[in-house]
Amino acid sequence: NPYGGLVSHLRASWLSGKTRPMEYRVAQLEALGRFLDDKKQEILEATELDMGKPSFEAFFSEILLCKNELNVTLNNLSHWMKDEHVDKNLVMQLDSAFIRKDPYGVVLIIAPWNYPIHLFLVPLIGAIAAGNCAIIKPSEISKNTERLVAETLSCYLDNDCFAVVTGGVPETTRLLENKFDYIFFTGSPPVGRIVMTAAAKHLTPVTLELGGKNPCYVSDTCDVTNVARRVAWGRFFNAGQTCIAPDYLLCTVEMQEKLMPALREAITEFFGPNPRESPDFGRIVSDKQFQRLRTLLGSGRVAIGGQTDEAERYIAPTVLADVLPSDPAMQEEIFGPVLPIVVIANMDEAIDFINARPRPLALYAFSCDSKIVNQVLERTSSGGFCGNDTLMHVTLTSLPFGGIGNSGLGKYHGKFTFDTFSLHRGCLHRNMGLETLNSPRYPPYTQQKLGLLTTTFEVKRRGTCTLL
Amino acid sequence: MEKMQQIVGRARAAFNSGRSRPLEFRIQQLKALERMVQEKEKEIMAALKADLNKSGPNAYSHEILGVLRELTLTMEKLPSWAAPHPVKKDLLTLRDEAYIGYEPLGVVLVIGAWNYPFVLIMQPLIGAIAAGNAVVVKPSEVSENTAQLVAELLPQYLDKDLYAVVTGGVPETTELLTQRFDHILYTGNSTVGKIVMAAAAKHLTPVTLELGGKSPCYIDKDCDLAVACRRITWGKYMNCGQTCIAPDYILCDPSIQSKVVENIKATLKEFYGEDVKSSPDYERIINQRHFRRVKSLLEGQKIAHGGETDEASCFIAPTILTDVSPESKVMEEEIFGPVLPIVTVKSVEEAIEFINLREKPLALYVFSNNKQLIRRVIAGTSSGGMTANDVIMHSVLPDLPFGGVGHSGMGAYHGRYSFETFSHRRACLIKDLRWDVVNKLRYPPGSVEMMQL
């Protein structure tokens, strides 16, 4: 067990109790903040090398959003850590009943390559805030960021309590043999299953942030220009390599007709006439992903874009029209700058189409008619939902971020991350006196005692007459 | 087995019809459950008597009272629990609608245990129905009378397709677990808990595992021993020790060990009289297999009180063991029987260390007049839940989450927590389609000035 020593070391630090005081947690979180400030340039450079991530995007997702989470946590930590007192019943009026937020112990955070800093750092913020030790396993696919994290994070965090492990599938498999007290995984559903199966051996609770095909319904009554901008922005951000990107569009054939020029205009507005020359458009992370995406271009017909360059791993912002449900682009999560449009007759058909498929991480609906947006919301199921925009629901830290069914289990962001990494322990501190109040519960049992017990423990419906 | 696929398929089709979603429907089903418990009280108590030799008042207070309470609370609070929760917005979303919507998960599976066979099916079922799901219920085959009764009664009162009962043992449960569910709540032991979670992993199904372990009970020298021992005796020997949150073993200073024994003995006489075997209020071990298991734990131990057994009636007398060695068999596994080992420790620090060397328990108990000491024990240990200066009672408060940690489980339920366990909290952000002024800040082409904004 190559990682046994490391895990034991962290567990010993955990048992020493040093991660528990608030001051310690604040110090570590502030150090994370300094990491983001000091290494901002390196992060922008590493993510650019890894997937051509535009600096603007990298700053937004890897620095700004992370700092937001950090600040929300630092601003609220003492409040979140406090015991939550709860309502008591009649016999417990002199007792103290509360929920204690306990850390779990040693947690494992496995991050993917597409937002390689954000997707380990935001969970880590919650893990630290909740008082845990953590092992971070960044993705080997975003290798420049992996190296940056492995080499520099240790300069900021307490190395007895936080460690970075690098490597690929074999290393992760060995790592998962160890017992952790919580595992937080972001990645694909198949690997999610492997992680959960490994966790089951140790009865380790998990959060799985997975993915799927996020549908985007566009109704006939909408502001086409704004829809096109918002959808294009969400689809082409990070060259489409976003778990919550609008994966495919559902609309009528008339709307497809109207959207096409608007999409073309939005793409030109964003990236210029030749997106390949724009500093604001990313690249595909690896040859394997590039090849995979290229084969999807055969679906439907290329209405916008379609150009590729293997050397640069460049795929132009592409819109595919008249895509069929049986086409390759509709068989897997796209995770690239390709937007298929599937034509449907009406909203009901769109909803049926969505509901016939695994529940997605995100779901989008565009309409000027709020009733339509609400209908789509009410008649479908997804991790999260955004009406009339894309991606934005995950930037609000007061909303939980997570999937359902195939797209994941558990949630985080803001306080939800803190709650994910803390055990909510029910505590009752009773008075040693007033023993007579307890006598109805003791044997020998009598109907009279039972009557007393019922009276003191019963919950009455409001409005019912309590006189008998 | 085609049968399982059919049952789950029917439940899923029923869920997909949408009829379990309106609040009125859910409350109507909960009301029907309430009627069932009230109308069939005699039958339920008879089943509990047959399975566990539980007396009337005992059965009523442990299993029926709790269920009725949960039903009342749930029906009362459901509208507020199920309402969308608006959330705090930021600068970019000020003009938008942002809230968390509570939605059903779909088809959930509830697997019960045999020790409180009625309430351990009913309480999760109540939460699952309240959250708008279809439910497949699998009562424990070990408490066969209650299982049979649940299988007969539920279809008489509830929507037959939405709420199904599956009976059977290991083969049937294994087959059931190959089906896809949207949540599984399992109550039982850690070994099977791992099997349930591994099966759930194949479908990425979230699980709540209510398992067990050895719940420690530390008695400080500074405490009212008579009161402490009465409360401990009550919690330990109720249901013949077959309670997941029973105080499993005692940790105390050697100087008070004999006083503890004396107090417990006196309380036992008070509760069950001179001849425990003839007390109508003392239960029996569920079956011969468990009888033999618990009896074997007595081998080589110093029996300070009790120790009598009768295999024919699965009777084991309330038993206390003293000066127990931490390495002995009785200290290895969860006892789940009326045997109370006392392990001596010299200080609360030693007790805390002892507890932390072992798997995290479902419950933890500490008795002391010293508030600081109690705080120290809570802060120095981890457990699913705990009660200071009493036992069991933290599980009775509906506003406290009830669940384990580590080997004692994951997730929690009771009251609002049941509703949340069986719900999906969906993040919803509804923006205006017409205004794009603010959005322009985020669109490419990006620039240094924009970033500095």
Query: Please, what is the Cα angle at B294 between B291 and B298, to 5 degrees?
Result: 130
Contacts of A333 (CB under 8 A, 6+ apart): A188, A211, A212, A213, A247
The angle that helices A65-81 and A118-129 make with each other, rounded to 10 degrees, is 10
Q: Is B210 a catalytic residue?
A: yes
B433–A454: do the CB atoms touch at under 8 Å? no
In whole angstroms, what is the distance from residue A121 CA to residue A142 CA?
15
Q: If you average pLDDT over every residue of chain A, what do you get?
A: 95
B436–A454: do the CB atoms touch at under 8 Å? no
In whole angstroms, what is the distance from residue A146 CA to residue A156 CA?
16
Nearest CB to A442; choose among B68, B234, B395: B234
Amino acid at B354: F
B427–A393: do the CB atoms touch at under 8 Å? yes
| ipTM metric | 0.95
Q: Enter the tokens of residue A13.
A: 């630090």
Q: What is the DSSP string of B253-266?
A: -HHHHHHHHHHHHH
Average pLDDT over residues A381-397: 96
Phi, psi of B429 (to 5 degrees): -130, 120
Smallest CA–CA separation between B362 and chain A, in Å?
Answer: 10
Dmax (CA) for chain B in angstroms is 88
In whole angstroms, what is the distance from residue B386 CA to residue A428 CA?
6
Closest residue on chain B to A410 (Cα): B206
Nearest CB to B429; choose among A280, A399, A444: A399
Average pLDDT over residues A138-151: 98
Q: Is B244 a catalytic residue?
A: yes
Q: What is the pLDDT of residues B226-279, one digit of tens each?
A: 999 999 999 999 999 999 999 999 999 999 999 999 999 999 999 999 999 999
Do B216-395 and B1-211+408-429 have the same topology in CATH? no
Smallest CA–CA separation between B331 and chain A, in Å?
Answer: 21
B431–A446: do the CB atoms touch at under 8 Å? no
B428–A54: do the CB atoms touch at under 8 Å? no
Nearest CB to B69; choose among A366, A447, A458: A458
* B contacts of A444 (beta carbons < 8 Å): 271-273, 279-281
Give Cα separations from B103 to A414, B82, B83 (angstroms): 21, 8, 10
In whole angstroms, what is the distance from residue A447 CA to residue A432 CA?
26
B69–A453: do the CB atoms touch at under 8 Å? no
pLDDT of residue A460 exceeding 90: no
pTM for the full model?
0.96
Predicted pLDDT at A436: 86
Closest residue on chain A to B369 (Cα): A432
Contacts of B175 (CB under 8 A, 6+ apart): B1, B4
* B contacts of A192 (beta carbons < 8 Å): 204
Closest residue on chain A to B447 (Cα): A56
Q: What is the pLDDT of residues B431-442, one digit of tens each?
A: 988 877 777 788
Q: If you average pLDDT over every residue of chain B, what do you get?
A: 95
Contacts of B304 (CB under 8 A, 6+ apart): B261, B320, B321, B322, B342
Which of these CATH numbers, 3.40.50.300, 3.40.228.10, 3.40.50.1010, 3.40.605.10, describes B1-211+408-429?
3.40.605.10
Residue B185's SS3 state is strand
In whole angstroms, what is the distance from residue B430 CA to residue B397 CA?
37
Count CB neighbours of B113 within 10 A: 22
* B contacts of A225 (beta carbons < 8 Å): 436
A443–B281: do the CB atoms touch at under 8 Å? yes
Catalytic residue, candidates A161, A216, A243, A386 = A243
What is chain B's percent helix, strand, coil content, to nearest 5?
Answer: 45, 15, 35
* A contacts of B451 (beta carbons < 8 Å): 55-56, 59
A387–B279: do the CB atoms touch at under 8 Å? no
pLDDT of residue B449 exceeding 60: no
Q: What is the pLDDT of residues B25-49, one digit of tens each?
A: 999 999 999 999 999 999 999 999 9
Catalytic residue, candidates A62, A146, A209, A333 = A209
Closest residue on chain B to A18 (Cα): B380
* A contacts of B409 (beta carbons < 8 Å): 203
Query: Order of strands across the sheet with A106-110?
Result: A162-164, A133-137, A106-110, A182-186, A206-209, A408-409
Residue B337's SS3 state is coil
Nearest CB to A406; choose among B190, B204, B411: B204
Predicted pLDDT at B112: 98
Predicted pLDDT at A34: 98
**Pairing between strand B163-165 and B216-219?**
unpaired
Q: Where are the domains of chain B?
A: 1-211+408-429, 216-395
pLDDT of residue A463 exceeding 60: no
Which residues are bridge partners to A249 per DSSP?
Answer: A216, A341
A392–B58: do the CB atoms touch at under 8 Å? no
Closest residue on chain B to A64 (Cα): B451
A200–B223: do the CB atoms touch at under 8 Å? no
Predicted pLDDT at B219: 98
Smallest CA–CA separation between B76 and chain A, in Å?
Answer: 7
Predicted pLDDT at A91: 79
Smallest CA–CA separation between B54 and chain A, in Å?
Answer: 11
Predicted pLDDT at A467: 45
pLDDT of residue A464 exceeding 70: no
Please identify which residue in the block is written with the tokens 């449907």: A344
Please identify which residue in the block is written with the tokens 């942030």: A209
Closest residue on chain A to B386 (Cα): A427
* B contacts of A233 (beta carbons < 8 Å): 439, 442-443
Q: How many beta-carbon contacts under 8 Å exist across A and B? A: 306
Predicted pLDDT at B2: 65
Indicate the class that CATH gives domain B216-395: alpha beta
Q: What is the pLDDT of residues B311-368, one digit of tens each?
A: 999 999 999 999 999 999 999 999 999 999 999 999 999 999 999 999 999 999 999 9
Predicted pLDDT at B451: 58
A383–B427: do the CB atoms touch at under 8 Å? yes
Q: Enter the tokens of residue A209.
A: 């942030």
* A contacts of B269 (beta carbons < 8 Å): none
Q: Where are the domains of chain A?
A: 3-211+410-423, 215-406
Q: A3-211+410-423 — its CATH code?
A: 3.40.605.10
Closest residue on chain A to B233 (Cα): A442
Smallest CA–CA separation between A193 and chain B, in Å?
Answer: 5
Average pLDDT over residues B274-289: 95
Count CB neighbours of A143 within 10 A: 18
* A contacts of B280 (beta carbons < 8 Å): 444-445
Count CB neighbours of B265 within 10 A: 17
Catalytic residue, candidates B229, B240, B244, B252 = B244
In whole angstroms, what is the distance from residue A194 CA to residue A310 CA?
32
Beta carbons of B210 and B403 less than 8 angstroms apart: yes
Q: What is the pLDDT of residues B94-135, one digit of tens each?
A: 889 999 999 999 999 999 999 999 999 999 999 999 999 999
B431–A223: do the CB atoms touch at under 8 Å? no
A396–B202: do the CB atoms touch at under 8 Å? no
Structure letter (DSSP) for residue B440:
G
pLDDT of residue B448 exceeding 60: no
Q: What is the pLDDT of residues B395-413, one digit of tens each?
A: 999 999 999 999 999 999 9
Q: Enter the tokens of residue B82.
A: 């199920």
Amino acid at A451: G
Nearest CB to A388; choose among B197, B426, B430: B430
Give Cα separations from A149 to A35, A127, B409 (angstroms): 10, 17, 34
A393–B450: do the CB atoms touch at under 8 Å? no
Q: What is the pLDDT of residues A42-93, one digit of tens each?
A: 999 999 999 999 999 999 999 999 999 999 999 999 999 999 999 988 778 8
Q: A215-406 — its CATH code?
A: 3.40.309.10
